[in-house]
Structure 1
Amino acid sequence: MEIDIDHLRGWIGREQKDSEHLDPTLVRQFNATFDRDSGTEIGDVAPLLIHFCLAQPTVPTMKLGEDGHPARGGFLPPVPLPRRMWAGGAIQFFGPIRIGETVTRRSVITDVTLKQGRTGPLCFVTVDHDVTSNGLKVLTERQDIVYRGASPTGTTTTAPAPAAIGEQHRTVTPTAPLLFRYSALTFNGHRIHYDKPYATGVEGYPGLIVHGPMQATQLCQYAADLHGKPPRYFRFRSLSPIFDDADFTLNASTDGAGLKLWTARTGGPVAMEAQAEW
């Protein structure tokens, strides 16, 4: 398959802007999804990374592709590769989002690159987000999206080494209701997260895939729990998928003044690696 990278790079500079009022109901739903407690009154500080659930594109159902993602060629470039995943990102926090405020996200495509991977071409799209709350800058985020061919991610000829267990660790059971609730919170129609017949029969995975941003949220919140306050910087990168057929762990180990974090399914390799700094 030939990919016209010059055409796709024509999307660099495209912008999208959305706003949403953060009400207590969303915070209660977010906390219920992650089995967490926090203030839910107007003016209370909202949970970390709840911005992933705010001001998301509201594409009509009839304009979704077979995989549940918005059809390509709108804000994101029309990359002619069938599989799209959130590969990672980096966040710098400047202040909290508070319940009752209006959160605005301005997004700009800053790069489109083509690389040759082990299983074929990979196209990376970088999106920068600036997020404000009631007009005050609360965070900046770099989002890395990867497009690839139809072969399942993580297919290897040799089994990767199992991940180490962190100095601190916590076990998570990726139930179907957990994955469905997070998809609903983020208005994410990607079927690999809630439609098992599609995930296994069409995309060839062994089960439902645990969302990358959900893992990032859990790791960032875990870092804040261990350190006693939210980090100033948080970056993460997906290395391999986690499915709903086994538990996985959140892991953390001291790394200088910060924390090195990672997720891994039981007996499996590192799925997502992250770094939190204060």
Structure 2
Amino acid sequence: MAATQNLNDIDGQGYILDRNYLAACRLNLQHYLWREALGFTIDPLIPVSENADIADVACGTGLWLLDAARLLPNAKLRGFDLDLSQAPHSNWLPSTITLEKWNIFEDIDPHWEGQFDLVHIRLLVLVLSGETRQPFVNRLFKLLKPDMHVRKVNLAIASPALDQLYELCNSFGRHEWTLQIPELLAEAGFEQARLTEVGDAPHFARAFNEQHMMTMEEIAEGMARLGKTELANRTLRLIRDAHPESVNGATLCIPRVVVVARKPL
């Protein structure tokens, strides 16, 4: 595959997806599908007290925070994101949830160092590049109290269009680094990192497929904004051609990787 025909060109470009109402709907759909696929909001193996301090980094539309607030009504939850325009207005949120802007490529406010019992992160696979991954994990380490946990979730078909879309998503193994998240966490000082891969149950495979198509369409629009017109047009053609293939029973499956680790005492 030619260098102009893969997604490595968009690495290091920050968040290239949209932030409009359609993008918010796509994020909300993704949240509910992931909750069904994982079977939990907070990993049941993580000991979390009823009045825990919990952070959600890159909180997006805030649905994970709302789910966590229902599970732990006495917990204090804080969502961090560079852009909070997709999240509910503060007047609509439970009093236990607060939102704050934070650019994950910058150091955290010293006020938040060692303040959280649990830090949740997901869907940053398109944002983090080789040189930014370890510094980001180091910042997560600072957020946690000693002996507390971080939970990170990322993305880890006999049909020509879907096959090509999969190859495009996995350009030259561009996301294989997610399988090394335990090593990144260990480098930052975390202990007991545990990685689990979660695939798609057959009855949810079509729903995940449609969500992937929405994501790829947003990525294509982001490519066009970056001047990657050829790659954007190719991606849109593949999305169009993939739809009848999915109607006939083929789907694009992108397994999720869940990693839990503990900050030592």
**Above 0.5 in TM-score?**
no
Specify which structure has the bigger relative contact order, considering alpha-carbon pairs within 8 angstroms and separated by 6 or more residues. Answer: 2
Structure number having the greater helix percentage: 2
| TM-score calculated relative to the size of structure 1 | 0.24
TM-score (norm 2): 0.25
Bigger strand share: 1
